[in-house]
Amino acid sequence: MSEATRAPVARALSVLEAMNAAHSLHLGDIAARAGLPKSSAVRLLDQLIEAGYVEKLSRSAGYRLTSRVQRLSWGFRLSDAVVEAAEPLMRDFTKEYRWPLFIGVVDGDQMIVRYGTVAESPVAIDPLVYEAPSPFLLGALGQAYLAFCPDWERKLIVARLGRSRRSIDQPAKNPEEFEKILRGIRRRGYALTSGGLRQMKRGMPKRASDARQRVTGMAVPVMRGDRVLACLSLRYMHAVISEQEVATTHLEPLRELAREVERTTRQMTTAGSGKRE
């Protein structure tokens, strides 16, 4: 067995990838693209056929993917790609500037924090809670989103929040005041947490509660065209550094980070989707 190092699972997946690179392939092509001996390719293709991901047209026409392959990735969305692209870049940022970063995306009618660089920051503020919802209107993430998203999308979200019963969503019921706030955000280029003391999170270690502080988020958008893919928020403590100071020293690096995330996401989602064959 010459290639005993690579597991059959990985080989089968590379067969699928090879087939995505060009439809209706002949065995020889598939085997060559996947880098496998033909007899191995046949065996793997048989398994994929058995499992329903591939079908065989005829000897001469070769093989073809079936719609079942979509089940392997339909749950992966653009917002997941953004988060994936952002994570290593966010870690680098926090190692350099110390303050922790968080990234949030819209999910339905709320803003969800998908990742944070708590582990990299020497300043322990919040524990990292994956998938934690963030208040749309009071949080920096949500405000940045609303300030920079297209008009039609903002109208949809605000209308939905306006029907909400939660007090936290009430600002949506005062549209002109709220629009004024958003104009300010667009002018400055960043959003800030409004509302005061952050509420304690469940599961927070006892020691940290002693460090209960005024914590503010400064958020900027990650764009794609006119859409907001996600927002990045830098969380800092009032008592240590002022808004003015943060804006002067950290805002431009934060914006550069957002641009870098935009570039990386674009690469991730366009690579390989060009011409086929």
Partner DNA sequence: TCCCATTATTCCGTTGAACGGAACGACCTC
Partner DNA sequence: GAGGTCGTTCCGTTCAACGGAATAATGGGA
Dihedral sign, Cα of residue 46, residue 50, residue 56, residue 59: positive
Taking the C-alpha atoms of residue 258 and residue 261, their distance in angstroms, rounded to an integer, is: 5
Question: Which partner in DNA, a second copy, none is near 130 (CB below 5 to 8 A by kind)?
Answer: a second copy
| 151-162 helix and 175-188 helix, angle to the nearest 10 degrees | 140
Site for a second copy in 73-132 (CB under 8 A): 73-76, 80-81, 84-85, 130-131
Strands of the chain, DSSP E = 54-58, 62-65, 101-107, 110-116, 132-134, 191-192, 215-224, 227-237
Stretch that binds a second copy, among 48-56, 90-98, 145-153, 193-201 (CB under 8 A): 48-56
Interface residue with DNA among 23, 26, 64, 68 (CB under 7 A) is: 26
Give how far Cα 256 sits from Cα of 83, 90, 144, 229, Å. Answer: 16, 11, 16, 16
Q: What is the arrangement of strands in the sheet containing 132-134, beginning at the earlier edge strand?
A: 132-134, 110-116, 101-107, 227-237, 215-224, 191-192
Taking the C-alpha atoms of residue 28 and residue 31, their distance in angstroms, rounded to an integer, is: 5
State which residue, 131 or 176, has the beta carbon closest to a second copy: 131
Question: Which partner in a second copy, DNA, none is near 1 (CB below 5 to 8 A by kind)?
Answer: DNA
State which residue, 6 or 238, has the beta carbon closest to a second copy: 6
Interface residue with DNA among 42, 65, 123, 241 (CB under 7 A) is: 42
153 binds a second copy (CB under 8 A): no
Interface residue with DNA among 18, 44, 85, 228 (CB under 7 A) is: 44
47 binds DNA (CB under 7 A): yes
Contacts with DNA, residue ranges (CB under 7 A): 1-9, 11, 26-29, 36-40, 42-44, 47, 56, 59-60, 62, 202-203, 206
